[in-house]
Amino acid sequence: MNIKFKILIFLTFVFSLFKQSFAHELNKDEVNSLINNFILKNPQVIEKALQNLNLERSKNNFEIALTELRKIPNPKLSSTNSDVTIYEFFDYNCGYCKSVMQNIFNIYKKDKKVEIVFVEYPILSNSSLSAAKASLAARNQKKYFEFHSKLMKHTGKIDDKLLLSFAKELKIDVKKLKSDYSNEKLMLIINKNREIANRLNLRGTPAFIIGNKIYPGAMSEKDIKKAIALERMKWI
């Protein structure tokens, strides 16, 4: 028998017991005994009901986290008619993140109806945090994506000397960069990103959210296109 049908029968059964308890004065022990017997004979009904409940809770938690993620002022590439949003959680010391950078830019170059949000998620080292803060500080001089690209293309050690070197190459005002770097608003963005990542159970980088689905790990350009197409099919 279909599990959903059994759950319906169970709920109807319980409701009828309560009606009987009022009509025929069944005592509490008799009602509990009948319910327990039904559960013992059909344990899969309760198991399935709990699975559905956990699934619904997980879905609700995801939607709440995604709503809060949208409010965080992370850097993004977008147009006025974007219909699908891609969130990329990344770390500047992550080799896999570096390998997918060009895929992300290619997607946006070819499909201007996609919005891409760059979620600074430094988890690998202290230098990851320094790089994230420097990139966000560079945004105040409209140099975020240039700075981001330089860091993603860099394959060696990241330190303060390198960050200052990149800033000078990009003709960024270093004095202002240092001042903005110390602004607590940058850490507020990063900490909120970390909080959302933890709530979504993201344990590594890169990780993507495309539409309403999480894609952990590196994605090829082809895979990203498939995920976008899948999301757009929901609106047909």
Listing DSSP states for 154-175 in one string gives --S---HHHHHHHHHHTT--HH
- Among 3.40.30.10, 3.30.1330.60, 3.30.365.10, 2.60.210.10, what is the CATH number of 75-233? 3.40.30.10
3-state secondary structure of 77: strand
- What is the spatial distance between Cα 95 and Cα 106, in angstroms, rounded to a whole number? 18
Between strands 76-77 and 114-120, the pairing is: antiparallel
Task: Report angle CA 57, 58, 60 to the nearest 5 degrees.
Answer: 65
What is the H or E stretch that residue 28 is in? helix 28-41
The domains of the chain are located at 3-69, 75-233
Tens digit of pLDDT at every position of the chain (236 positions) = 555 555 555 555 555 545 555 445 556 666 567 667 766 766 665 566 555 544 455 557 889 999 999 999 999 999 888 999 999 999 999 999 999 999 999 999 999 899 999 999 999 999 999 999 999 999 999 999 999 999 999 999 999 999 999 999 999 999 999 999 999 999 999 999 999 999 999 999 999 999 889 999 999 999 999 999 999 988 66
